[in-house]
Structure 1
């Protein structure tokens, strides 16, 4: 039988599988224990929601609306300060009810627990924004330590482990499997913080590593993070500051990585792949930086940095930037582009069918920094987009820029004396800085403001 400890001392032995059958919101008694227990059942307070209104639609996401107030629902087991729960299985089938919740200023620990969550959310937005119906939830200023064990979520809107507000979660060595709709693996939102290491996560319909309205801070080190759903189920979806290192990130039917608005994603020494399927009228892509206009992310510059590791696109262009400003920095990464697209980098507007800005003014304003980077593929910026390319620190680019002759709103290339650019077709830019000795034109021509450049 599992033991429940407090201050490192066993205070009660649980009677086996704790189940929540029916409406757990009305349960305020402690579960049956061999002696006085410390696990309690209680509700969770609500409050004012962060600002932000409805707008466009994130990929595969909800309406971008929300209830207007923080609604994190209730928890079957409300953890108390300094509590340690070691071993055992804990399940809940009720709607809008997490299995474990840590709130207030509580600091608690879960060790090798098995969490089984079914039951659905009454609001997909509240689940995404505030953790309603999550398997394990921390809110307020709570600090929750999770080691080992597993989380199995099958309900609609039921993220595996969720940090909201000023809470912090440390999680290591846990297996998370999420199969319900609008449900992801681990999430931070509303400013939540999460440190994760060596997790194995499988998610069907949303990102394995995700954030949502109000952002937060996430650091992930080691482990495997896999999704099987279509568009909207990348391995990582960032509306926060997220760092992932030494991990395997795989999206079997979706783009691999997404950043929305004024947020950051840094990938270091990871193996990353995506395989986006049919996307309607949108550009097939592997990494997208964009602004959905849903209110889930502030307007500003999306930043993506990849150091070492590998990034493979099995479908579509490698990078797609639309309706946002963006900075992409690549250093020492191995990039493999799919056979069905020659575009390494595509900065362009969209048809606004998802509410991502207005046609004619929803292009991108992007910077591509190559530092110690070897890469091949064509680059494109449409007439309503701006792109600055910096090739430096012994980098090598093989490919054409706007080979169809399109004149971008601005397309500047800077190359230093240690780097090379090999053309494989005529290329059209609006500005060039550096020596043409570092540009191997061969039988092709570099046009700067529609004038052929010659050494």
Structure 2
């Protein structure tokens, strides 16, 4: 009996110790998981607060007041890389007051934002910090250290994107990937561009342009495309996409590659200049020159 009692006591103590260790491990894992979710989640920084500093120095998107409430719903997703990790090692956040400054909805550094079935609208009224232009969707690298270097990504599907002041898309001092599918895109500013990539207040002069890969799928878009002498654009249109506007009207770009499938169409509103053209329609019947000329690497493809 005594032997049995001692053995029972030893077993009971062992069970209690195991339970305590398991509880400690569960707490540690739960804390690590919640901490990672809080610290690694990229955000879309938006607008400026009443203090004059852009975005309130790290307020989450639903506190910035720069876009409609629908754009801050669960449909705004954080994309992941091939390893399943959140892209962007610190989170994107509004620029610190007095550090750089922007207007519109920003994606800084190696961060990604995806919106589906959302409404995204700017409320630009004043320029903040270092900003020299108004824009709705802003992809950039401020070099302030709050976002890792790397490609900024913006993806929108089946959404309403409305710009009231400035350019719809603006890229500077970074490499950017923009994917647009079946959105309604409206720019109410007669002087606003569809896309602008250029040097600005951030980065080192001469190497602070924007390098943009733009893919449009079942997408209609209008407005000029402005790419400066140190910036590049690789633009692909597919699945019946359409674009109306002037591409690089001042012939100043470093490089523009334009790719169209047979179902996609372009209508020019001014003489346009691209570095290369890959059109599945070799007769260019999917390009409405509209009385203007499209130059490819300096040579007019229509007379």
TM-score scaled by length of structure 1:
0.48
> 1:141 aligns to what SS in structure 2?
helix
Q: Report the Cα distance in structure 1 between the residues aligned to 2:90 and 2:285, rounded to whole angstroms.
A: 42
Contact 2:248 2:273 in 1 (8 A): yes
Q: Partner of 1:448 in structure 2? A: 296
Choose from 381, 401, 408 the match for 2:247. Answer: 401
Compute the RMSD of aligned alpha carbons: 3.5
1:105 aligns with 2:42: no
1:141 aligns with 2:64: no
Q: Give the 4+ runs in structure 1 shifted more than 6 A.
A: 178-181, 206-209
Cα offsets for 1:389-419 (capped at 9, x unmatched): 101111011111011232x111111111011
Higher relative contact order (CA 8 A, sep 6+): 2
> 1:282 aligns to what SS in structure 2?
coil
Q: Report the Cα distance in structure 2 between the residues aligned to 1:166 and 1:271, rounded to whole angstroms.
A: 25
Q: Partner of 1:410 in structure 2? A: 255
Q: Partner of 2:204 in structure 1? A: 358
Mapping for residues 228-267 of structure 1, pairs under 5 Å = 240=91, 255-267=103-115
What is the Cα deviation at residue 275 of structure 1?
A: 2.2
Choose from 361, 372, 392 the match for 2:218. Answer: 372
Q: Report the Cα distance in structure 2 between the residues aligned to 1:447 and 1:453, rounded to whole angstroms.
A: 6
Choose from 256, 269, 273 the match for 2:121. Answer: 273
* Distance of aligned partners of 1:282 and 1:309 in 2 relative to their CA distance in 1, 3 Å threshold: same
Q: Report the Cα distance in structure 1 between the residues aligned to 2:297 and 2:291, rounded to whole angstroms.
A: 19
Choose from 116, 128, 133 the match for 1:283. Answer: 133
Q: Report the Cα distance in structure 1 between the residues aligned to 2:132 and 2:231, rounded to whole angstroms.
A: 16
What is the Cα deviation at residue 453 of structure 1?
A: 0.8
* Distance of aligned partners of 1:167 and 1:325 in 2 relative to their CA distance in 1, 3 Å threshold: closer
Please list every run of 5 or more consecutive structure 1 residues that lacks an aligned counterpart in the other structure. Answer: 1-81, 83-103, 108-139, 144-163, 170-177, 188-200, 210-218, 224-236, 243-253
Contact 2:175 2:211 in 1 (8 A): yes
Q: Report the Cα distance in structure 1 between the residues aligned to 2:159 and 2:89, rounded to whole angstroms.
A: 19
Q: Partner of 2:234 in structure 1? A: 388
**Number of matched residues?**
243
Contact 2:206 2:230 in 1 (8 A): yes
Q: Report the Cα distance in structure 1 between the residues aligned to 2:122 and 2:168, rounded to whole angstroms.
A: 9
Choose from 170, 191, 196 the match for 1:341. Answer: 191
What is the Cα deviation at residue 142 of structure 1?
A: 5.8
**Structure in which a larger fraction of residues adopt helix:** 2
Choose from 42, 52, 74 the match for 1:221. Answer: 74
Q: Report the Cα distance in structure 1 between the residues aligned to 2:181 and 2:143, rounded to whole angstroms.
A: 31
Contact 1:238 1:264 in 2 (8 A): no
**Structure in which a larger fraction of residues adopt strand:** 1
Q: Report the Cα distance in structure 2 between the residues aligned to 1:374 and 1:400, rounded to whole angstroms.
A: 15
TM-score scaled by length of structure 2:
0.70
What is the Cα deviation at residue 339 of structure 1?
A: 2.1
* Distance of aligned partners of 1:239 and 1:372 in 2 relative to their CA distance in 1, 3 Å threshold: farther
Please list every run of 5 or more consecutive structure 2 residues that lacks an aligned counterpart in the other structure. Answer: 1-22, 41-48, 77-87, 94-101
* Distance of aligned partners of 1:318 and 1:277 in 2 relative to their CA distance in 1, 3 Å threshold: same
Q: Report the Cα distance in structure 2 between the residues aligned to 1:286 and 1:319, rounded to whole angstroms.
A: 6
